[in-house]
Amino acid sequence: MALAALWAVMASLFLRATIALALTSVILTVIMFRLGAPLAAVFELSVCAGLISVIFISVISLTQRLPIKEFLSRRQSRITRFRYLPLILIVIALLLLYFVRLPLNLDLPRPETIKDVRSVMWDFRRFDLFGQIMVLLAGVYGVIILFKGSGSDER
């Protein structure tokens, strides 16, 4: 999953980045199913892998292509700017895992004790909601980056 996410961040073409983001979301969906969070997995698959990918592809189809020289210069600039980003992110993730001990409650209550979905999500699966919020914020950030102009060609 980390490799697919890294591919999504470092891809130079938006369509490839969108495909990588969808792949990351599908892998996360499988992980959520394996961890026993089918409701969160369904939301992840339908909203993130499905809806967000469709929105990104729609936006990509509405944008104009850059001239090849400008594309290559931006690509080189991005590669040099973000050269150490994967290493920094891995170190930050490892430090967070080491220092922050999140209470992971992976045990679900017995089916006869479940009143409704809300009680399961808020009482037993809070960490899943945190993941959903992070994925949603990542999608919003991606849309902001897509619509952000370079400053010289304001419309």
pLDDT in tens, 97-112: 777 766 555 666 666 6
Residue 45 lies in a domain: yes
Q: Is the pLDDT of residue 145 over 50?
A: yes
Domain that holds residue 128: 2-63+116-147
The Cβ of residue 8 has, within 10 Å, a number of other Cβ atoms equal to 20
Element (DSSP H or E) covering residue 122: none
Token pair, residue 77, equals 């600039």
Residue 123 lies in a domain: yes
How many structural domains comprise the chain?
1
Residue 22 lies in a domain: yes
CB 32 within 8 A of CB 130: no
Residue 32 lies in a domain: yes
Residue 101 lies in a domain: no
The Cβ of residue 132 has, within 10 Å, a number of other Cβ atoms equal to 20
Query: What's the gap between Cα 79 and its chain centre?
Result: 20
Q: Is the pLDDT of residue 150 over 60?
A: no
Angstrom distances, CA of residue 111 to CA of 89, 117, 128: 39, 11, 19
Residue 124 lies in a domain: yes
Element (DSSP H or E) covering residue 118: helix 117-119
- pLDDT value of residue 153: 46
Token pair, residue 155, equals 């419309």
The Cβ of residue 67 has, within 10 Å, a number of other Cβ atoms equal to 8
Summarised one tens digit per residue, pLDDT across range 59-101 is 777 777 778 888 788 878 877 877 888 888 888 878 877 777 6
Higher local confidence (pLDDT), 76 or 130: 76
Residue 102 lies in a domain: no
Residue 77 lies in a domain: no
Token pair, residue 23, equals 């792949």
- pLDDT value of residue 123: 67
